[in-house]
Structure 1
């Protein structure tokens, strides 16, 4: 079994997606499960975790509604204002739906990620989420990983998941790496030292210089594989999960390329049992998915 732990779905409306710029025409349209179904089948991917893409109150209900229509959608990581006074009743209602697995905030877009993490209201909200045994996905750029470390260190009652390997700036690594690569690797190891943190091998293809060349260069591929190798060294095979970041990945590469790169890496680095954990077992354990 193969599970893709990171896909997004939406009915496109520009005001609801401020992060989708004019440089991203491939994303300025509706993106729904049927649009990627054939590519998933060709890759042998059986199930999906749908992840929020809007910071709107209705996002979680929208994604849960999709799971009622598409059985391959095994779980939802939605969105809620962690500081809202009505968070607890919302959590109780969502937890009644078997597909509700957690929440995420687009922390990378916060002007001061550390201040957001330290806000007492957000701390209370995350504690409430973990009391319900639900996951929190952490989305940060590499320079914000220290804020993620602080967040994860305070909240260890349930799984936390680092999205997109902490978004290393692969476009700046150059032929022989870069200072940023060293900083990212060091911060990644800090997160990995906490046993309640998992990591998604996702989103790497759009950390390349995709606006200036569509597709992956040989150097891009080397950097992505090196990134995955460092994540494996830090987290081990029992805390890594595959995610495509579809449809965002299409800014750089189509689904088959993203899956193929992960498959190439897994086959050459992992035992059969470790590959099973990477492709499905870890996701089932982390998100509480029905296999």
Structure 2
């Protein structure tokens, strides 16, 4: 068996096109959505990510507000900026890029964003609403993963799902989304006893543990849907001294021999994250204005 590839890049492009159509409709009603992104410091990966967010925000027709602050910015100054954005009617979504410098309490900052503008879906109110089955802004990477799963298996009720990883950003919300789809969900992690055997029970296997190629091919149930959330950079001496390459949390070549469907790294879940961020911003804009959310 050789798995079919789930093309996240292509799916994300389609989602961005649908978001752009929704933005056009809202703009015609004088309700153009706006996204504010805040970056503190000079982390290279964060800088690239923020640039991509701003570029894609503008490409779909949204208003983009970038706030780039020096690494020594105080927590007080950052919190004041977030509060200002909370009250800015042009801003529907606020995203504070993580990680933040060590002297800033990231959780305090995230909790300062009002839940209705929390397009990352990290505020405890949104997390609680998701856990209790209420409408909420959902973390982008898990939601994007769910869309990819449903693109190849629209009906998930009754399937066994295993999520390897229990972070607040991916693992826990991923489990909640799958529970809402009536899956039987196991949340596993590095301390799970006989993790390979647990994984072998999964019709849907989501790897979000942050360890390069931890999930081996013989851990995968034949025909399973494998979603690899991991993005890890490892040495690639075959490319030359000091060169690296990206791999996921799944040993892709091995797993592809067992799985029915699999996401690659790169080009799988990654492109979905920003696309879902844009979608969340449209949803937030509609809810704030009491407008029906367009189909996306």
Q: Which TM-score band applies after superposition, normalised by the shorter structure?
A: 0.3 to 0.5
TM-score (norm 2): 0.33
Largest Rg, 1 or 2: 2
More helix, by proportion: 1
